[in-house]
Amino acid sequence: MQRRTRHPMLEHLAVLVGEWETDATHRLMPSTAVRGGSAFEWLEGGHFLIWRAHNEHPNFPDSISILGCADPDGADAAAGTRGDCSLSYFDSRGIVRRYALAAEAGVWRFWRDWPGFAQRFTGTLSGDGNTITGLAELCQDGTTWEEDLHITYKRVR
């Protein structure tokens, strides 16, 4: 069986590989610093990125996510996923969510349009590649987006 090549969009996520310290604030707890860490690593074969996140605050769940793209040449077409990129999220509360995913040089995004609870995230990488400034937004009424979570990732190694 011929191995497929990595989806071109995933090349922009390669800069995430490694360990990061995180510091976040949430709109419902604006005076509380939520510290933690994240680690990104490729699944063997390099087609899927595994993202593990840990938070030290008990009100914020730990999670694991798988980021990847279907084969743009159509090997996954029977599943209706030709070239689609997604992030599958699982957390310590038992929550499962699926997001659309996109990346370009220095920026990665994921989002989901769910009635009453639409979400979107943008992470912007610093010029030296050692800091990510992230903003998660929430839309509960189908129209108005509000800032939900500000998070900063600092590369550990």
Q: What is the residue type of 17? A: V
Q: Which domains does the chain have, with CATH numbers?
A: 8-27+34-155 (2.40.128.20)
State residue 131's pLDDT score: 98
Tell me the mean pLDDT per 10 residues along the chain, length 157.
77 96 95 96 95 96 96 56 83 97 96 96 97 98 96 94
The DSSP result for 95-127, as a single string, is: -EEEEEEEEETTEEEEEE--TT-EEEEEEEE-T
Tell me how far CA of residue 77 lies from CA of 36, 69, 71, 112, in angstroms: 38, 12, 8, 22
d(CA 2, CA 145): 44
State residue 78's pLDDT score: 46
State residue 83's pLDDT score: 60
pTM (two decimals): 0.90
Tokens found for residue 63: 């999670």
State residue 72's pLDDT score: 66
Determine contact, residues 140/117, Cβ cutoff 8 Å: yes
Element (H, E) at 131: strand 131-139
State residue 4's pLDDT score: 74
